[in-house]
Amino acid sequence: MGDSEEQPQIRTAHLNVSGMTCASCVRRVENAIQKVEGVSSANVNLASEKASIEFDGSDEALDSIKKAIDRAGYSVISEGNGGQAASSEQKDAQSERKGEEYRRSRNDLIFSAAFTLPVVLISMLGMFEWFRAWFPLGEYDTQKILFLLTTPVMAYPARRFYKGFWRLLTRGAADMDSLVAVGTGAAYLYSLLLVLFPHWLGIQPGAEPVYFETAAVIVTLILLGKLLEARAKQRASDAIGKLLELQPDTAHVKRGAEFREVSIDEIAIGDLILIRPGERIPVDGEIVEGDATLDESMLTGESLPVEKSEGDTVSGGTLNSYGSFQFKATRIGKDTALARIIDLVEQAQGSKAPVQRLVDKVAAVFVPAVIVVAVGTFFVWLFAAEASFSAALVNSVAVLIIACPCALGLATPTAIMVGVDVGAKRGILVKNAEALELSKRITTILLDKTGTITEGKPRLQRIGLHADIEEDELLRMAASAEEPSEHPYGRAIVSAARERKLKLSAPADFSYTGGKGITASVDDRKLIIGNEALLSNHGIAINGVPQNEEGETSLYVAVDDKLAGALHVSDTIRETAAEAIAALKELGITPVMVTGDAKATAESIARQIGIEHVEAEVLPEHKTAAVERYRGKNTIVAMAGDGINDAPALTAADVGIAMGSGTDIAIESADIALMKSDPMAIADAIRLSRKTILKIRQNLFWAFIYNVIGIPLAALGMLNPMIAAGAMAFSSVSVVSNSLRLRRFLKHH
């Protein structure tokens, strides 16, 4: 007997985690979460300070996850929206929290710099004989002044490093804070002993140099680096914040006989909403009265306004530039296009590229290894090189300070965050980082013809007669039969009949054969409408019907099992199709057109746009086989289609690219979702993926090289700890800044 218990529902949570400073922290938080029962996956992003977790959906599991993060030494600040619309209170709280964190970091830096500057000046000037002759205090008294100036720095601004160090030390772990705390703490405590208790060390007061300026400068430089890093990280992760700002907090909703301003949380499906010029649309819906010109650039990336009238759909977050209208709410909350975009961007920014696996392995041992190297450096200099205690200490401190696991932790996520942000602004929604990495390696792309290469809105061009029947009568009967059809060709026939104001009849026994056509009864007469294969299946020959012209598709019509004529339709090739094909070829990608059209029609369209490879007369269910056939040639295959009928093929491809208009996009079946149907967006998406992966590799290269070169130099005594602190502070900033250069993609494409 089967198990009758319901399977737990998988839920995704986005948790804001505080206290993470480097790649080691990311690894520790992920390990803690993954040990919780019910968790299927966990991705932690240092750049956004967010954990994206898939678990069994229970509140108990979520509580256990939060407790696990706390036990690991970190804390959960808040839970993300997960694609749901944020209230104004949530937006304000998030903004206030980030603002408070920035102000606290800025104040710490100002405080630290105020005390560090005189420490540096006194220490540097003390190296000159003229200053020592002029300065009224002796060497030992000067050291006491340095002690008094440095102590506030160690007690107040540097507290964050020592608190983090102690928090993890009690759990047997270490991170970047640990390196800074041990390095600055060792320099400060050794100097303190020289000043307050020199006799303990058997040293005359003032006889040995102190390193208060080293400790103070290291703290100040790292605080400066963190402040600059925070600003850069905020720029890198502003996509979701800006998307949330697109949603208005209130709307004019019909209540009784009048429209009243209410919170968007009170809008229900079916509500009638009034939109005036200059207002943003709060939820998705359908216009029931009025006309307007909308700015949909937040969805599609296109700056040109879109005309909307009765019956057209509108999306939440878009801006009404001109005109007033009323629309009926059809999607609210997490189901709106804007909420789905936010969810997708958040999901993509929290995902990991396969290249990150190497970083994770390094991060697991990085901090402990650096501490071992620092201890080894101290003893080698002290005993093997017979250096002084202070020289050995300085060199070991330099090793601790130069090491930068933070740069390693930021290298991949910042590039992904900026890449996803840039893509979202251009109407390119990337589902995960793996899709970005795979897109770079695409060698072949299969392009569905209808809706991708062509407009997807064919028109009836000509009618060819075979039997003794009037042209309007043939069109009337065919349109009546096609009335229930959703196929673009069927809609074209119905539109043509309505343009001629023909009176249609209700069809009976309607049946659709995928990729071939339909059968139906109209006015008690049997109609068969479709391609040659469909009529052949019914034993009907098509001889004697005028042939279609180049680029046209012929739909043959049989009445009562006798050929009556043909309806010749054609679809308009998109303006940018030829340009897009040329762009794909420049990228080294082979384009292949896939269509259910007859071979002659397909090849005609392919010739016009520069495609040499055509897969014609392919039924919808056979598109997946076409994808698999090309994948079998050891190539990385992408499939671009409308994301609905092509869903199986999109899933089968290495990279599925769904073309669409935002509200009906098939996000689940595609790896990349385009919010517009412009084929140039396909080339842009691939270019963006290549640029993003290039930035990741550049970041990782510099992060690794920085540590590979810096740590040995410090161990060999060739690096002053203060110089090491400056280099370490700015290494993270440089990685984030390099990622931010991806924003130039918007200007150049």
Q: Are 199 and 140 in contact (CB under 8 A)?
A: no
Which residues have a Cβ under 8 Å from the Cβ of 473 and sit 6 or more positions away?
none
Using DSSP bridges, classify how beta strands 319-322 and 292-295 pair: parallel, antiparallel or unpaired: antiparallel
Query: What's the burial of 509, exposed, middle or buried (CB within 10 Å: 0-12/13-18/19+)?
Result: exposed
Q: Are 105 and 230 in contact (CB under 8 A)?
A: yes
Helices 88-125 and 238-245: crossing angle in degrees, nearest 10, is: 140
Which residues have a Cβ under 8 Å from the Cβ of 609 and sit 6 or more positions away?
453, 573, 577, 578, 581
Tokens of 329: 């709410």
SS3 681: helix
Using DSSP bridges, classify how beta strands 319-322 and 637-641 pair: parallel, antiparallel or unpaired: unpaired
For every residue of 353-392, DSSP letters joined together read -TTHHHHHHHHHHHHHHHHHHHHHHHHIIIIIS---HHHH
Which residues have a Cβ under 8 Å from the Cβ of 297 and sit 6 or more positions away?
303
Determine whether 92 is an active site residue.
no
Question: Cα–Cα–Cα angle for 157, 159, 160, nearest 5°?
Answer: 95
Nearest to 373 by CA among 408, 335, 402: 402
SS (H, E, C) 1-67: CCCCCCCCCCEEEEEEEECCCCHHHHHHHHHHHHCCCCEEEEEEECCCCEEEEEECCCHHHHHHHHH
Tokens of 374: 């620092």
Nearest to 428 by CA among 325, 352, 341: 341
137-168: burial string, b at 16+ Cβ within 10 Å, e else: eeeeebbbbbbebbbbbbeebbebbbebbebb
Nearest to 314 by CA among 338, 340, 278: 338
Rounded CA separation 396/401 (Å) = 9
Which residues have a Cβ under 8 Å from the Cβ of 712 and sit 6 or more positions away?
none
Q: Are 511 and 521 in contact (CB under 8 A)?
A: no
Rounded CA separation 456/454 (Å) = 5
Using DSSP bridges, classify how beta strands 590-594 and 613-615 pair: parallel, antiparallel or unpaired: parallel
Q: How many helices (H) and strands (E) does the chain have?
A: 25, 26
Q: From the candidates 177, 448, 571, 654, which is the catalytic residue?
A: 448
C-alpha distances in angstroms, 32 versus 10, 29, 41? 19, 5, 12
SS3 275: strand
DSSP run (H or E) holding 102: helix 88-125
DSSP class of residue 502? P
Q: For 497, list phi and psi in degrees, rounded to 5.
A: -65, -40
Active site residues: 448
